[in-house]
Amino acid sequence: MQRKCKFAPVREYENVEIVAKPILKMGNPKLRGLAKEVKIPVPDEIRDLVEVMKLSMDAAGGVGLAAPQIGVDQRVVIFEVPSARIAEEDGLEDAGVPQTVLINPVITPLTKDMAIGWEGCLSVPGLRGLVPRYTRINYRGYSLDGELIDRDVEGFHARVVQHEVDHLDGILYPERMTDMTQLVYQSEMLEYMESLA
């Protein structure tokens, strides 16, 4: 018997029809709330949610997404960090992070050191900003199978996780910025970077 996905049907996934949802944009009140904790063991509806999130993230061309970005107030994020991006940001080879589902994540800074880096967001399309983030963190949360994920990470990996978990607390990256003159349209970044040289 086919289950009905509560989040929106179209693609077949384990007898459930799934479809991508649009990404909510800055200003939508659903991006401002505190997301609710997920019960462990993970219920089927959260598995459905993760499939919708994956399709939605792929359709939008992103590498990370939090459930509130598609209007669902659950503490669920997905992210991946391509090895090419870690090589570019941190100078490390073969250090990519495969697609990870993180449920009820908790972040603990492992240092007071912060670094400023460029961030973009599917909910703030077309813009990039320089955002300070902790350089080393521990994050804990659960996989879809209810297994504990406990990692100490640094650099770009740490930045990505902090960015996605912020969404669960109703925070978008411009709120973390310390200098709003460093919020620029992506289409203008080349000229912006040349003006700094």
Q: Is beta strand 76-81 parallel, antiparallel or unpaired with respect to 124-134?
A: unpaired
b/e map of 123-134 (b: 16 or more CB within 10 Å)?
bbeebbbbbebb
Q: Which residues contact 150 (CB under 8 A, 6 or more apart)?
A: 138, 139, 140
Global pTM value:
0.88
Per-residue pLDDT reduced to its tens digit, 11-25: 444 555 678 999 999
* 164 has catalytic annotation: yes
Marked catalytic residue, from 12, 89, 164, 191: 164
Give the 3-state secondary structure of residue 169.
coil
Q: Express each pLDDT in 49-107 by its tens digit.
A: 999 999 999 999 999 999 999 999 999 999 998 877 777 777 777 678 899 999 999 99
